[in-house]
């Protein structure tokens, strides 16, 4: 498997999807399903593209010197991910705050690392902590805080079928772990 090209991997996934369609009791040769295995394989390849990106390298492409030390917040970055337990989508918004220590990162790079971690089979709790720890490590920030609000189709369309449920996860480190005041300032910024 390790020596396969991306196209060979996508073709292999399509073959498995065709078999799954058959196992579910459907005719994989039906007109509407003829191209479904390849379309689904390409969609899964895209939705898991985070495995083929390096978040640290994404950030390092846009690090800039900065003398300030006040909080920087990028809020409401939308994300789309796949639950690792049911391979169903979950989606929502992430807000990231950090205290620079001589370096800042281009704002679009924060959105790109959100995509890099979201586009994997995930749980929201790990996703939230991965973002906070990556930003701190890659920027050298004095502290990072991340809040993630997500809706999970594994809870909405199967299982308990609770349509209005949402999950909020937080993770913080460094100066945010040491200071209730900083966390409060971050949460107040999100309300503005």
Catalytic site positions? 83-86, 124, 152, 154
Cβ atoms of 72 and 135 within 8 Å: the answer is no
* Residue of 115, 169, 113 whose CA lies nearest to 141: 113
Burial of 70 (0-12, 13-18, 19+ CB in 10 A): exposed
Calpha distance 6→106 (Å, rounded): 30
Residue 119: phi and psi, rounded to 5, are: -85, 60
């Amino acid at each position: 498997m390790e020596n396969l090209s991306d196209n060979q991997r996508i073709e292999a996934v399509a073959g498995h999807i065709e078999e799954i369609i058959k196992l579910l009791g459907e005719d994989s040769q039906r007109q509407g399903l003829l191209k479904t295995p390849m379309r689904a394989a390409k969609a899964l390849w895209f939705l898991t593209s985070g495995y083929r990106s390096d978040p640290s390298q994404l950030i390092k492409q846009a690090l800039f010197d900065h003398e300030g030390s006040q909080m920087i917040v990028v809020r409401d970055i939308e994300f789309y991910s796949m639950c690792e337990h049911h391979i169903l989508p979950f989606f929502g918004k992430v807000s990231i705050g950090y205290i620079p220590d001589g370096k800042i990162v281009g704002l679009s790079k924060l959105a790109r690392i959100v995509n890099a971690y979201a586009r994997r089979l995930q749980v929201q709790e790990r996703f939230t902590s991965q973002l906070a720890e990556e930003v701190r490590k890659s920027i050298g920030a004095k502290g990072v805080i991340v809040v993630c609000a997500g809706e999970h189709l594994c809870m909405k369309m199967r299982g308990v079928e609770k349509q209005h449920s949402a999950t909020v996860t937080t993770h913080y480190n460094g100066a945010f772990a040491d200071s209730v005041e900083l966390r409060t300032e971050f949460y107040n910024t999100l309300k503005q």
